[in-house]
Every structure is written in C-alpha cells, then in structure tokens.
Amino acid sequence: MTILDCAIIGGGPAGLTAGLYTTRGGLDNVTMFEKGMPGGQIMNSSEIENYPGVIGEISGMDLMTPWPAQCQKFGLIHEMVNIVRITKEDGLFIIHKEDGTTANAHSVIIGTGSSPRRAGFAGEDEFFGRGVSTCATCDGFFYKGKEVAVIGGGDTALEEALHLAKICSKVYIVHRRDTFRSAPSTIERIKNTQNIELVLNTTPDEVYGDKMGVTGLRVKNKDGELRDIDVPGVFTFVGNDVNNQILIQEDGSFLCDMNKQGQVIVDISMATSLAGLYATGDMRIAAPKQVVSAAGDGAVAALQAITYVDKLLN
C-alpha cells in the first residue's frame, strides 16, 4: 500500500502553494484532494488589485488559473474527491473519502477554507438561489440594468458592490454601522460611485417575493423604522464560517486543538497540536483572509512538512 509523504486537503491558494513547495522541495507521492476545480473561493472575486506583482485589476479566475499547472509540473497529483474525515492511527494519517475508500499519509496540510455565512434575516433561505446570492461575480449578470442590494460593510461587500455598480442601474449598500471595515481607497471609490446609495445604521429585516423570485427587501434602521427597497436581487457578504468538518471525529471531538470559533489553533509554523498536521488559510486562528497570506501559509506549512517527513523516515 502506497503511503503519501503528504496529503493536502483543499485546492485554494494555500493548498496549491503547499503542493508546489512540497513537491519542488523533494517530497514524493504528494496528492492534493479537492472535490472541485482548484482555485478556491477567490475564483468568484470579480477584481483583485492587491496581489503582489500584479499591476492593475485582475479577476480571481484569471489570477488562479495558472497555479494548478505550475504545481503539477513538479509532480503534484490532484484527486477530485470529497474528504469527509481525517483520523490518525499508529502514526499514520488516514484520509477518509466520500466514496468509502481511504488513503494513508505521513503528514497532512489542511486548507479547506471557509464558506459564506448566512445573514439570518427572514426569507433568506427561502429565496437563496432565487434572488438571494453570495456571489456577485456568479450572479451579477442576471441583474444587468436593474437595481440590487448588497448587505455588509467589509472588504468583500464593498468590492462586490463596485463590481455590481458596473452592471446594475443602482446598488444599495445596507450596513448596520455608519463606518466600514475596508481599505480607505475602496471606501473612497464607493463614495464616488454615483449609482451606489448607502443605507447605513440599518439591518435587513426580510426579503420577500413570489414564485418567480425576489421582489423586494425590507430593512430596519436603529430607530426601528422600516423601509422597503424594490430590488430583484440581494447579495449578502457578512463573513464566513470555517470549513472544519473533516477534523470532527466519530465521538464528536476534534482531531486537534480548536478555538471557540471553530478555527484551528496553530503556531507560527502552521503546526497544530497534533504532530504532522498543519492548518492554513482561512481555517486557522488569526487568518488575515487574503490570497497572499493563504499562499504564505501554504509555503510555511509545506517547508515544515518536508522537515517532519524527513526526520520521520530517515
């Protein structure tokens, strides 16, 4: 039975960089397990302007497309399968696949990232996919020339609002505060975009519609006053939840130490509390949630995995 030197779970910037560094650094039999096409959540971003070495705006898809080929050049194998659990027995990690088969590895680097969080207002689940979306790049085109609402006040919300403003006749940004948690340059662009209206100190109360989809959004300000905004599309960007399910053991415990938010506790080398297991990107504590940071995490974890496996086998 072949034992992988390193199993990489997740094919985003962290996982791909880990794949590049482990294979180029000399590890044999390195497989990246990713249930879909590699690239990660950033593939849905409409524009990126802060990745080092890239001048001007670039879409997430254009940025990430060359990465898999670069990794595979040095021998990284991509297995398109969903991983349901990781366990460790007799010094080996066991990678449990959705189809019931398993793979064994000396070390594991996890980069399963996070998923968009639901905002929790009435009608959100009912109309999700029928007017409520968490991806402006994916669904913005459906609202060309129409008015839409964006819920959130962070970098992602404002960047996607700017993208939508190029397509839609008007964009309402609904934010519970009167200040934004975003880069000053992005905030300035928002304020200077004529077809963006700021709806501040306000939270979504309900999205409603008919059998065809969303027809409006009801919001409530801090004084309890309600306002109806007639829009066929509502985009929510209110944070992310960590994808840590593969670390949950059969008895409900976690494979390694976690914090109360479900993030993996790591040290500066991305090492977890379990020897040979490393966590990277959005799923680790204090993650900056930036592509360049995730890539850095993947490189650091890979270098540590190389040292760990070398000591283990030699």
The catalytic site residues sit at 135, 138-139
In angstroms, the Cα distances linking 242 to 59, 137, 285, 287 are 24, 22, 10, 11
Helices (H), the chain: 13-24, 60-64, 67-73, 136-139, 155-167, 184-191, 291-313
- Distance (Å, rounded) from C-alpha 266 to C-alpha 284? 7
In angstroms, the Cα distances linking 25 to 18, 33, 110 are 10, 19, 18
What is the widest separation between alpha-carbon atoms in the chain? Answer: 69
Q: 213 near 133, Cβ under 8 Å?
A: no
E strand or H helix that includes residue 8: strand 3-9
Q: 147 near 168, Cβ under 8 Å?
A: yes
